[in-house]
Chain A
Amino acid sequence: MTLELQHAMKATPTADEAARGRFVSGIRSFILNDLAADLGHAYQTRAAPKFRAANGHDPKTSGDAHKALRGDPAFNIYSSMRVQAQKMVWASVSAGVERDAKRLAELEAQTAGQPGSVQLKPDFIPPRNASAVDVHLMPGSYTGGEGMAAGAVYDRGLAVFSMGLMGSNLDDIGLSMAAYIKRRYPEFAPTAMLDTGCTIGHNSLPWKHAYPEAKLTAIDVAAPGLRYGSTRAKLQGVEADFVQMASDELDFPDASFDLVFSSMFLHELPKKVRAKTIAEAYRVLRPGGLMLHMELPPNGQMAPFEAFYLDWDSYYNNEPYYKGYRDEDPKAVCESGGFGADDYFQFVVPSIGIYGDEAVTQAATSDAAHAVGAETTGRLAEGVMWFGFGAWKR
């Protein structure tokens, strides 16, 4: 399915560009549904038995599953095509972004006086995990290029990438998580919220919709996305302050926020930065405040094949810290950051866009959490569900 974004900065593609985007979304769906099914079958019938014969035991870990699959024809086809499809995602939107540069700049100028802000720091040096690697195989990554272009490429590329599974404004994660928390903890009423890795704010804004009285601050290290995200928010009538800042060095006083959150962010951070990010979240939270991260489910709670299926991105999608993050126990990480063991919680929430409002309510009002090990948890394919974890500060 081809997704047309629902905001004024959306692409204005030529007919050929629209067709190219449709093909890329379609081939990604073919890879992530059809070829993924072949991959799972090949693992069960060829790769795992072969591994067992060679090692005297079944694959026990994601790493074992990776070793088992390397060289298998189904793995080769799936992986080779998925890498190329990822490159085609960005290629399919880059010409349109270049052509639209003037219009996007005009939109930024037109909205300059509207509620909300963007604060960039000319002397800020983005960390190497964001600047020294083309994260997600996106050329120039998130920190490079002119003006807001990287933000626009990300937004439009994600629309192609998502196959319609991440919401009409790529905000399904934020919408699903915010709906879950609001229904699970109806007494929780934040007045100040911080997104610690917002890119273009697509999953930040749903929290402002959920808690309209709360002030929303969204930080990131990459200036293009912040500029783009601020304009994008203003054009949607959502007030938010976008600030260039690193999650592990928050320039906020202690006890500044009631909610500190992120979406698909922690797995892009080196281990030490990730640990400091959690500690900083604890520091800037007020007593009674909540830290919440939507993330990929931990490897320790998944079977080897399902674990490696997600870890694939670490090796082949330029996300070098992805597996290291997933090998960690999120509860232990929270405790290391200062949170109490009893104050940790985790959950799986159905995609609100796919399963609907009632399914989120059911998940939020029941203690029978969906199994993290479910095949659809964290996997961008038909039936996706989102994993989240968090901790309360006492």
Chain B
Amino acid sequence: MSEERQRPEDAPKGIYGPDGEPIFFAEPGVDRMMAVIMNLASELWVERERYLPLDSDRDAEAKAFIDRVFAPLRERKE
């Protein structure tokens, strides 16, 4: 892909890092760590699904897994 980056004309300054990736957290490394956590959770789910019974509701199981693993990120508890 081209090195030239197309951005919205009114993009606020400082929302992208030197590599062009968006920055959200004050410490940019946290954005990368968030990606690592999500990748790890995905790979863990792949492993878990191998051991599920064939007749299990895998979508429901995946939802329960995600809700459980990422619960600390919720602000409003349900």
Contact = CB atoms under 8 A, between A and B. Distances in A.
Contacts of B30: 76, 80
Interface string A295-325: 0000000000000000000111010111110
B4 interface: yes
Contacts of B70: 27, 30
A132 B34 CA distance: 27
Nearest to A72: B24
Nearest to A144: B1
A79 B21 CA distance: 12
Interface in A135-187: 139-141, 144
Interface string A67-88: 1001101111101110111011
Nearest to B31: A80
A22 B35 contact: no
Contacts of B12: 66-67, 70
A80 B41 contact: no
B30 to A, nearest CB: 7
Contacts of A323: 8, 10
B33 to A, nearest CB: 9
Contact of B76 (A38, A67, A321): A38
A316 B38 CA distance: 18
Given A15-B50, A79-B22, A144-B1, A26 B59 contact: yes
A325 to B, nearest CB: 11
Contact of A85 (B4, B38, B76): B38
B15 A315 contact: yes
A299 B9 CA distance: 16
B62 to A, nearest CB: 4
A128 B6 contact: yes
Interface string B49-66: 110000000110011011
Given A20-B42, A318-B6, 13 more contacts: A2-B59, A15-B49, A23-B41, A23-B46, A25-B62, A27-B41, A41-B75, A63-B10, A75-B24, A81-B34, A83-B21, A84-B38, A88-B39
29 contacts: A15-B49, A15-B50, A16-B46, A22-B59, A23-B45, A25-B62, A26-B63, A26-B65, A26-B66, A27-B66, A27-B70, A30-B70, A35-B74, A38-B74, A38-B76, A41-B75, A70-B15, A73-B75, A74-B75, A76-B24, A80-B30, A80-B31, A80-B35, A84-B38, A133-B6, A139-B1, A315-B22, A320-B6, A321-B8
Interface of A: 1-2, 15-16, 19-20, 22-27, 29-30, 34-35, 37-38, 41-42, 63, 66-67, 70-71, 73-77, 79-81, 83-85, 87-88, 128-129, 131-134, 139-141, 144, 314-316, 318, 320-324
Interface of B: 1-2, 4-12, 15, 21-22, 24-26, 30-31, 34-35, 38-39, 41-42, 45-46, 49-50, 58-59, 62-63, 65-67, 70, 73-76
